[in-house]
Each structure stands twice: as C-alpha cells, then as structure tokens.
Amino acid sequence: MRLDRLNEMEKYILERKTVSLAALTEHFHVSTNTIRRDLNELIERGRIVKVYGGVSAKPESAPLPMAIRSAANSDEKQKIGRLAAELVSDHDTIFLDSGSTILCMLPYLAEKNSVTIVTHSLSAMYEASKYPSLQVIALGGLYNASTSSYVGISTLDALSRISTDLVFIAATGVSLERGLTNTTYFEAEIKRKVVGCGDKVVLVADHTKFGNSSTISFFDFEDLYAVVTDRKPGRKYLEAIQNNHIKLCF
C-alpha cells in the first residue's frame, strides 16, 4: 500500500514539476507528517528535491523550447486563449506575458478594433505581426532564449512608463498559500513589475498549474481580477474566487 502511494506520489510530482506540501496532503488524503516521511524517501530516489513549501522535480538541463511548449495541449490552450480574449474590449491596451498559452489569444484579439498589445515576448511580437489590426509596443532588453522573451533593467525601465487596461499573466505554479509563482528570477522580476502596470490582472493558466508552487512568488491570488483556465478549479480555489469577487472563465 505505502509503496503504491510512493510511486503514485513520485509520478504526480514529476508530472507537475513543483508541488506544495498542502497540495500533496489534500490529493493523497494523508497527514502532513506522513507526506513528509514519504517525501524523504522519494528524495533519496534522486529525482525530486526540496523547495520552499514543497518539492520539485529535478530540473532538466534546459527548459523546453517555446515551440514545443506551444504545441503541448493545443486544444486546451486554444480554448483558454479564446476565453481570455473575450475579456478585452475594443481600444483596450493590454499586456501579454511570455507564456505559451497567452499566444493563443492573438487570433481572437485581431477580430477586435484598435487593440494595443504591450509585450516583452518575442513570440508574441512575431505572432501579433501577422495581424495588421493589432498595434504592438515591443519591450526590448536582454534576450532569454528559454522563454523567448526580453528581460533585464531596460525592460523594467520601459515598463515603469506604461499603463494598461488589462494584464494577462502566466505562472509556473498557482497556490492560495504562495499565490502566483515562477521558477526564473528575471522572469519573476518582470512579472512583479508588470502586475503594477494595470488595475486588472488576469491569470491565464491550465489546470495543471493549480496546487503547485515554484521558487519565486510574484502576485497574491486574492488580488486577481480574473482567472482563465480549461477546467473548473478545486473547491478551495472556487471559494477563494467567490470570496474575493474574482471572475472565473473556463
């Protein structure tokens, strides 16, 4: 019985990359102490490491390229992109983050009138260039190949002079305890700056991100304006969404 649970737990963590102790306790219906004992054994297997508040799969030698990430779960991402674009009105100025799911918004945004896109994502700039109806403000900086985006001091400086109607943000992990989290320091710094550029911050994330927690927190869940995802979130997320008057689209 315990061996089966250990194997299932290892598979669960490896699939989700980073998972909090609270999420493991809830998913496997055992006590926190039991989870801690199980994790100590899994860590000895060598494929999992401790992180703040939970555990994480050992990182690959390099992140998956954007092209591969964009191709994964394409149907779900198209659905999320369409729903997210429905939050945008004609003549809005919006920020688009570097997440692969956010790219799926662009064909639907092109159907609107005079939408201006601000982005540090090279992939978003390229995709948006296919649609003459979209206006693009491109933020430069130091190019990060793993995320196909620009980061650094010049990017942060450019963001300090920009305000938007909506900010569409991606996250590596989403939890109520630590909010929206990311694994990359420079990307997290961009995200922290970005969420101050508009009053309405929209999380764009598929269901696999919920219950996970990465290294760096950059925004509190309860401060979101909207959550756009592909499935109905779990009970505790629904309660937080209702209690904080957050829009939910799925």
CATH number at residue 43: 1.10.10.10
**What 8-state DSSP symbol labels residue 121?**
B
- Residue 37 in this model has a pLDDT that exceeds 50: yes
In a shared domain, residues 31 and 84 = no
In a shared domain, residues 179 and 202 = yes
**Residue in 171, 173, 230, 213 with CA at minimum distance from that of residue 195:** 171
The helix (run of H) or strand (run of E) holding residue 19 is strand 18-20
In this structure, are strands 201-204 and 18-20 parallel, antiparallel, or unpaired? unpaired
This prediction has a pTM of 0.74
- Residue 208 in this model has a pLDDT that exceeds 50: yes
CB neighbours of residue 58 within 10 Å? 10
Task: Give the pLDDT mean for 103-115.
Answer: 96
In a shared domain, residues 22 and 75 = no
* pLDDT tens track for 155-185: 999 999 999 999 999 998 999 999 999 888 8
What do you get for the CA distance between the two ends of the chain, in Å? 36
- Bigger pLDDT: 19 vs 59: 19
pLDDT of residue 44: 83
Contact 152, 186 (CB under 8 A): yes
The helix (run of H) or strand (run of E) holding residue 123 is helix 122-128
Task: Give the pLDDT mean for 70-83.
Answer: 80
SS (H, E, C) 133-178: CCEEEECCCEEECCCCEEECHHHHHHHCCCCCCEEEECCCEEECCC
CATH number at residue 104: 3.40.50.1360
pLDDT of residue 2: 80
How many domains does the structure of the chain reveal?
2
In a shared domain, residues 22 and 135 = no
Domain extent for 20: 2-57
C-alpha distance from residue 238 to each of 21, 80, 231, 241 (Å)? 20, 18, 12, 5
pLDDT level of residue 62 (50, 70, 90 thresholds): very low
The Cα angle at residue 246 between residues 72 and 189, in degrees rounded to 5: 60
pLDDT of residue 199: 84
Phi, psi of 193 (to 5 degrees): -70, -40
In a shared domain, residues 113 and 51 = no
Taking the C-alpha atoms of residue 248 and residue 227, their distance in angstroms, rounded to an integer, is 5
Q: Which of 73-77, 119-123, 139-143 has the lowest mean pLDDT?
A: 73-77
**Residue in 11, 165, 170 with CA at minimum distance from that of residue 100:** 170
- Bigger pLDDT: 81 vs 3: 81
The Cα angle at residue 117 between residues 112 and 122, in degrees rounded to 5: 125
In a shared domain, residues 188 and 102 = yes
**Six-digit token string for 218:** 């950059």
Task: Give the pLDDT mean for 9-16.
Answer: 86
